[in-house]
Amino acid sequence: MKKPGLIAITIILTSLFFTSPGYAQLQIVITQGVDDPVQIAIVPFEWNGFGLLEEDVAEIVKTNLQNSGEFRAIAEANMLSTPHEEQEVFFRDWRFLGADYLLIGKVVDNGAGGPLQVQYDFFDVLREDNLISEVVSAGRNQLRDVSHAISDKVFEEVTGVRGAFSTKILYVTSQRINADLTYYQLNMSDADGGRSQVLLNSQEPIMSPNWSPDGQKIAYVSFESTRPRIYMQELATGGREMLTEFTGINSSPVFSPDGTKMAMVLSKDGNPDIYVMDLRTRDLRRVTNHFAIDTEPSWTPDGESLIFTSERGGNSRPQIYQVSLDSGWVERLTFQGTYNSKGLMLPDGVNLLMIHRENTGDEYHLAIQNIERGTIFELTSTALDESPSIAPNASMVIYASKAGDRGILNAVSIDGRVKFQLPSAQGDVREPSWSPFFD
C-alpha cells in the first residue's frame, strides 16, 4: 500500500469588514511530492438534469487526490473514452494510458424537487475489479460534501489510511490597515478551502483556536476586551461562553480527548502554570506549580497526561515535559537541541511532534522525536515554524511560518515526503487548527 500523504488546502479568505481590507487568498503551491504517485483516471461525471450544477464533483475529487501528493490524474484530453457506467468501461483503454485506478460516475436529477442521485464506481484497472460502487442522495448544496466523501473513500481504498478531505480547519488572519488599526478574523473552511466563513471579527488579537473532539465546539483566546480571555463557542448556533477572565495570562485552551475537560495556561496565582477545567462543573485544578513559565499544554492520546513547554531546566531554553494527571509526576521528554516547544503526541503515543532548534541560531523547524529512542527527524527546512496541527488521520501537519515579513501556512506529510506552501496575496495567516473527523 502507498504511504499516507497530505491533504491539500486552498483557502479563500473573504473579508467581511465594512471597511473591506480586501481579499486574502491562499493558493496552494506544491514544493515537493512523492516520486511515484498513483496514476488515476477520473472521468468527468455525466449530468442528467436541467441547468448547470453549482459544483463539479469529479473536478473536486481530482483536485483533492492530486493535491495530496499521492496521486497524479490523467488528463481528460488523453482519455480514449468517457464511460459513466460499469458496462461502458474497457479496461484495455485505461491500461494503455498507464492508469492504476479509474473513477467514473454521473449525477441524476429525478425531478419533483427531490434530491440528486450521485452514482459512482471506482475500479482497479490492472485487476479489472470494481472496488467501490455506490449511489448517494444529496441536495444541490451538498455536492461538495459528497465530493469530499468520495475522495475519502478512494484515498483509503488505495492507501489504507482514512481520508481527511471531509474535515475542516480553523485559522486566524490579520491585516494591518494602518499604524493604529489591524483587523483580525477567526475563520473556518473545508479542508480544501471551500465554504470559508468568518466566525469572529475583531480589532484585537485572536489566538489559539482549538476543536472539541466531536467537532461541535471550538475554544480560542480573544483580546476583544483588551485583555486575554478564553471563550468556548458552539459552531451550530454561534453561541459562545467566556470561560476565564482572570487577571494576567489566560491562554492555550485545549480540549481533552473525551471533551469533558480543558487544559489551559493561567497566571492568576503567580507564574504561568498549567490548569485543567472540568467543563461540566467549571472547577479548576492546578496541574503544575513552578517558578518557571509552564505553557503550551496538549493532551496525550489516552487523556491521562499533559505535554507542556517549560524553562524549568534552566538556561532560558524551553524544553518539553510530560505531567501525569493522576500522580503529578513530571518527566522531561526532550534533551537534544537548544529549543523544543509546542509538543504534540502522535496517536501512537511514541512519536512527539514539536518545534525544534538544534543550535543557537534563529531557525526553528518542525521535527518529530521518537520518545523511546530519542532520535529526532526534522520535517521542514523553513526557518520560523510555529503552531503545528496534526490531521485527524495523522498523515500530515499544517503549521504557520514566514515568507519574508508575512505569515503564511505550510503543510508537510508526517514522513516529510510531501510539502506544500500556502502563500497569501496580502495579510498574515497563522494559528491553523485541523478538525477531528465528523462521525
Q: Measuring CA to CA, how many Å separate 10 from each of 16, 68, 255, 436?
A: 19, 12, 27, 19
Same structural domain for residues 313 and 397?
Answer: yes
Asked whether residue 139 is domain-assigned, the answer is yes
Cell of 95: 491500461
Please write down the HEC assignment for all residues of the chain: CCCCCCCCCCCEEECCCCCCCCEEEECCEEEECCCCCEEEEECCCEEECCCCCCCCHHHHHHHHHHHCCCEEECCHHHCCCCCCCHHHCCHHHHHHCCCCEEEEEEEEECCCCCCEEEEEEEEECCCCEEEEEEEEEECHHHHHHHHHHHHHHHHHHHHCCCCCCCCEEEEEEEEEEECCEEEEEEEEEECCCCCCEEEEEECCCEEEEEECCCCCEEEEEECCCCCCEEEEEECCCCCEEEEECCCCCEEEEEECCCCCEEEEEECCCCCCEEEEEECCCCCEEECCCCCCCEEEEEECCCCCEEEEEECCCCCCCCEEEEEECCCCCEEECCCCCCEEEEEEECCCCCEEEEEEECCCCCCEEEEEEECCCCCEEECCCCCECEEEEECCCCCEEEEEEEECCEEEEEEEECCCCCEEEECECCCEEEEEEECCCCC
Asked whether residue 22 is domain-assigned, the answer is no
Cell of 391: 490531521
Q: d(Cα 77, Cα 366) in Å, to the nearest integer? A: 40
Predicted pLDDT at 2: 43
Q: d(Cα 85, Cα 422) in Å, to the nearest integer? A: 37
Same structural domain for residues 137 and 50?
Answer: yes
Predicted pLDDT at 34: 63
Q: Which single residue is written with the C-alpha cell 537534544? A: 336
More confident residue, 318 or 15: 318
- CB–CB of 285/240 below 8 Å? no
Asked whether residue 408 is domain-assigned, the answer is yes
Q: Which residues of 3-19 are buried (b: 16+ CB within 10 A; e: fewer)?
A: ebbbbbbbbbbebeeee
> End of a domain among 139, 159, 179?
159
Report the C-alpha dihedral over residues 413, 11, 405, 317, rounded to 10 degrees: -40
Same structural domain for residues 202 and 336?
Answer: yes
What are φ and ψ of residue 5, in 5° steps? -120, -165
Q: Comparing C-alpha atoms, which of 291, 364, 366, 355 is closest to residue 320?
A: 355
Same structural domain for residues 200 and 228?
Answer: yes
Q: Which single residue is written with the C-alpha cell 465594512? A: 18
Same structural domain for residues 69 and 216?
Answer: no
**Residues contacting residue 344 through CB under 8 Å, at least 6 positions apart:** 298, 307, 352, 353, 354, 388, 389, 390
Least confidently predicted of 20-34, 111-125, 191-205, 276-290: 20-34
How much is the average pLDDT of 307-326?
92
Q: d(Cα 232, Cα 209) in Å, to the nearest integer? A: 10
Predicted pLDDT at 166: 96
- CB–CB of 251/230 below 8 Å? yes
Same structural domain for residues 144 and 281?
Answer: no
Q: d(Cα 110, Cα 401) in Å, to the nearest integer? A: 49
Asked whether residue 295 is domain-assigned, the answer is yes
In tens, the pLDDT along 406-434 reads 888 888 989 888 887 666 555 788 999 99
- Of the pLDDT bands very low, low, confident and very high (cuts 50, 70, 90), residue 393 is very high
- CB–CB of 215/203 below 8 Å? no
Residue 195 CA, chain-centre distance (Å), reads 15
Averaged pLDDT of the chain: 89
Same structural domain for residues 70 and 129?
Answer: yes
Same structural domain for residues 172 and 154?
Answer: no
Asked whether residue 357 is domain-assigned, the answer is yes
- In this structure, the number of other CB atoms found within 10 A of the CB of residue 159 comes to 20
CA Rg value for the chain: 23
Asked whether residue 389 is domain-assigned, the answer is yes
Predicted pLDDT at 189: 86
- CB–CB of 5/68 below 8 Å? yes
- CB–CB of 106/43 below 8 Å? no
> End of a domain among 132, 159, 186?
159
- Of the pLDDT bands very low, low, confident and very high (cuts 50, 70, 90), residue 193 is confident
Asked whether residue 87 is domain-assigned, the answer is yes
Same structural domain for residues 140 and 180?
Answer: no
Predicted pLDDT at 405: 79
> End of a domain among 159, 186, 220?
159
Cell of 193: 478551502
Inform me whether the pLDDT recorded for 17 exceeds 60: no
Domain region containing 364: 168-434
Predicted pLDDT at 416: 87
Inform me whether the pLDDT recorded for 294 exceeds 70: yes
Q: What is the CATH number of the domain that holds 284?
A: 2.120.10.30
Q: d(Cα 5, Cα 420) in Å, to the nearest integer? A: 11
Total domains in the fold of the chain: 2
Asked whether residue 110 is domain-assigned, the answer is yes
Q: What is the CATH number of the domain that holds 121?
A: 3.40.50.10070
Instruction: Give the type of residue at 55.
Output: E
- CB–CB of 184/176 below 8 Å? no
Same structural domain for residues 144 and 179?
Answer: no
- In this structure, the number of other CB atoms found within 10 A of the CB of residue 433 comes to 23
pTM of the shown model:
0.89
Same structural domain for residues 152 and 282?
Answer: no
Query: C-alpha angle 272/249/360, rounded to 5°?
Result: 60
Inform me whether the pLDDT recorded for 95 exceeds 50: yes
Question: Kind of pairing, strands 240-244 and 250-255?
Answer: unpaired
Same structural domain for residues 153 and 288?
Answer: no
